[in-house]
Amino acid sequence: MEKPVMPDLSLLSSESEDDPLHAHTPTRIAAALRDHICKGALSPGTKLSEEMIAAEFEVSRNTLREAFTVLAGEDLVYKVPNRGVFVIDPGPHDIREIYQTRRFIEPSAILWGKLTPELTETFHHIADRTRRGVAQEDFSAIVEADRSFHVAVVALAGSETMSQALERLLTRLRLAFTGLRISTPIHGTFAQQNLAIITRILGGERIEASRGLHRYLGLAENMIMQHVTGAGQPATDRKQPVDPLNDGREIHQN
């Protein structure tokens, strides 16, 4: 099977020109490549050409290799001896590991984090974006609002380290979705649960919100694993939606 072809990187390098003093450092190059990976412009399995990228950024290959080392430490790329550096192609094991980590980070942030006025405003804004996306059946908007929701949840902890860890986990998950051809409606399945959790966070119901998110992440993992393995009935085909804020019981609609 052919590896995906690396796209044109001219736009990527131009984004780094805003900060000319640091535009060509390994950290800056790693940030630009990370952004491209996150946005899906560099798909799973893509070989990263040292020659092309070094020329585009006008840096030495040694500098570029330092950037690759940064990304390898984040599990976004890997090196194959005598073949080169590739964007990771996460599999089922990676998905389980990602969700296991998220089930510790996100509910804990809700329980013990600080809801600042800025985050209160952010949650209201995310709720508005989610409602608009659902009403307009705009799955792209729903996906972006979903990502913003989880980022805001971890921001409650006030820890840059935790926020960076979540960003890396979400990027790896995005790669898994791309490689496994998981469609955006999976994100949409939990849009209403995001809204319910936001309501509970803003209402001071931290314990309920934390437990609900923990169950929600478990259901999301199971849904994705069913898609990957083909085992059982896909969660998206259930006759009744599941409410993770209600101990995982089905919602019976009137």
| Predicted TM-score (pTM) of this structure | 0.74
Rg (CA), the chain: 20
Q: pLDDT tens digits, residue range 222-241?
A: 988 887 776 544 333 333 33
Closest CA to 175 of 12, 21, 46: 46
Domains and their CATH numbers in the chain: 10-87 (1.10.10.10), 92-246 (1.20.120.530)
Inform me whether the pLDDT recorded for 4 exceeds 80. no
Task: Count how many residues are written for the chain.
Answer: 254
Inform me whether the pLDDT recorded for 247 exceeds 50. no
pLDDT the model gives residue 238: 35
pLDDT the model gives residue 57: 87
Inform me whether the pLDDT recorded for 49 exceeds 60. yes
Instruction: Tell me if 151 sits within 8 A of 61, measured CB to CB.
Output: no
Inform me whether the pLDDT recorded for 27 exceeds 50. yes
Give the C-alpha separation, 153 to 146, whole Å.
11
Give the C-alpha separation, 109 to 91, whole Å.
27
Please report which confidence band the pLDDT of residue 42 belongs to, taking 50, 70 and 90 as the band edges: confident
Give the C-alpha separation, 137 to 190, whole Å.
14
Give the C-alpha separation, 142 to 61, whole Å.
39
Q: pLDDT tens digits, residue range 185-214?
A: 565 678 999 999 999 999 999 999 999 999
Give the C-alpha separation, 155 to 116, whole Å.
10
Among 6-10, 93-97, 173-177, 201-205, the minimum mean pLDDT is found in 6-10
pLDDT the model gives residue 11: 46
Give the C-alpha separation, 106 to 172, whole Å.
16
Q: Which residue has the higher pLDDT, 117 or 3?
A: 117
Q: pLDDT tens digits, residue range 65-84?
A: 999 999 999 889 999 998 99
